[in-house]
Chain A
Amino acid sequence: MQIEVIPEGDVQHLKLVLKGELDALTAPKLYEQLTQLVQSRPGLNRITLHCRELTYLSSAGAGILLMCMDNFTPKGISIELADVQPEVYNILDLLGLTKLMPVHHA
């Protein structure tokens, strides 16, 4: 999986592009990178993950997204998913995560 940071002037809003498959092998990498980015950006209050090119999500990937939300919310940082493909949205929906965090269709 590839994780790309979208350069943005707004220091409060971090935008990332996720490409590929978020599974047991790649989920720890996403968590590590997001945690580093949060630590390096004081004043951050919003993270948007653009998922148009995210083609697969396993339970491990969904678990990491939830863990990010659990860890970042107390720091005043919201996390949302944008441009989510129907296959990935369906899995998030089955797990009930679409009720816990903003998830927007592609």
Chain B
Amino acid sequence: MPKTSLQFGATTENLPIVRHFVQNHLRSFTSDSVQINQVTVAIEELCANSILHANKEDPEKELRLELRLQGTTLHIYLYDPAPPYDLHQYPQEPKLLRADTNRPGGFGIFLIRRIIDRIDIRKRKGGSSVYHMVKDLNP
């Protein structure tokens, strides 16, 4: 699978587009449907966090998702116009009931941590950010 990318506005309505883009590309590399789904979920959760929290669902803000496969290692880059947020500051366990919202919370970041091997976050010139996730598809 060569490098491939998708550009999309920061709105939750684009999450299914992201999902199907990732699924289609991973299917060309592996037939392990559980692993394809795991990686898809992790990428969608990262994008959802950027859309909802970093960009406040502003469809004018453009995000770019890039997938690169090196051997069996998938590199996932999310270029985000918003400043980075620190995924590592969130609690290790999801909240079954958040006191502030009276709803479950932290599930998305918890899933990213469970599924992805490594995640790096970099601030870029101009205040934007890039999230780099790494996943070995054939451990």
Q: Kindly identify, within residues 59 to 106 of chain A, every residue whose CB is under 8 Å from any CB belonging to chain B.
A: 59-60, 62-63, 66-67, 70, 86-88, 90-91, 94-96, 100
CB distance from B48 to the nearest CB of A (A): 6
Chain B: interface secondary structure? helix
Residues in A whose Cβ lies below 8 Å from that of B37 = 56, 87-88, 90-91
- Say which size band chain A's interface belongs to: 20 to 34
Complexed CA–CA distance, A63 and B33 (Å): 23
Chain B residues in contact with chain A, CB under 8 A?
Answer: 12-13, 15-16, 19, 33-34, 36-38, 40-41, 44-45, 48, 94, 96-97, 103-105, 107-108, 110-111, 114-115
Given contacts A59-B107, A62-B107, A86-B33, contact A91 B15 (CB under 8 A): no
Residues in B whose Cβ lies below 8 Å from that of A23 = 15-16, 19, 44
Can you name the residue of chain A whose Cβ is closest to the Cβ of B13? A25
